[in-house]
Amino acid sequence: MTFDLAGCTDGELATRALAAEQTAYRELVRRHRDWIYRLIRHHVGDPDEALDVTQNCFVAAFSALGRYDPGRPFRLWIARIAINKCNDWARRRAVRKFLTFGAQRGDVEQMADDAVPVDETLGGKQELDRAMRAIANLPAALKEPLILRTLEGLGQAETARVLRISEKAVETRLYRARRKLGEMLAD
């Protein structure tokens, strides 16, 4: 018997996925992968790293699917997981930077250069990359509401639920993020 999964709610798909129905897993990924990738891409600032973090997000989400409440929006639940995975990535990156900083000069000279090649830095792309790096370098408390509200288009109430803060805190952090981003880009 073939069941139309496209007509199912996310809660119904989660229930089916818990019953080990692989097509339900695929449908949940299909529905949410693009916007989760964008959310993570805005957070980490690097497309390749964002792919890895997105995969980790879905693996973690499906491992924790038993704790998902089908009566609540799946989108908000998985967004929280994505943000947690971004924070994990940022902590690992900070440790790598710390360890790299302590490396011998000869070791550092042999490491790959992370700079963007000159032939890729043209006009608007250069400015976009610069803005994405600036967003990625914002503190998490400012970056998360900025990405969710401005780049992903979530409402203030939805953003507050994802971040587990008040709507007023979302408004305040969004204001501070925009101000800080303006300062960073003005330099």
Q: Which residues of 19-55 are buried (b: 16+ CB within 10 A; e: fewer)?
A: eeeeebbebbeebbeebbbebbbbbbbbeebbeebbe
Which pair of structure tokens corresponds to residue 37? 């990738």
What is the pTM assigned to this prediction?
0.61
Reported as a pLDDT band with limits 50, 70 and 90, residue 40 is very high
**CA neighbor of 162 nearest in space, from 175, 144, 136, 180:** 144
Q: Which residues have C-beta within 8 Å of that of residue 28, sequence separation ≥ 6?
A: 10, 13, 14, 17, 74
For residue 137, the 8-state DSSP code is T
Fold that domain 1-105 belongs to in CATH: Rna Polymerase Sigma Factor; Chain: A (1.10.1740)
Location of each CATH 1.10.10.10 domain in the chain: 117-187
Structural class in CATH, domain 117-187:
mainly alpha
Does the pLDDT value for residue 152 go beyond 90?
A: no
Which pLDDT belongs to residue 116?
Answer: 47
Which pLDDT belongs to residue 123?
Answer: 57
pLDDT tens string 43-97? 888 888 999 999 999 999 998 998 998 888 899 999 999 999 998 888 888 776 6
Note whether 120 and 139 are within 8 A (CB): no
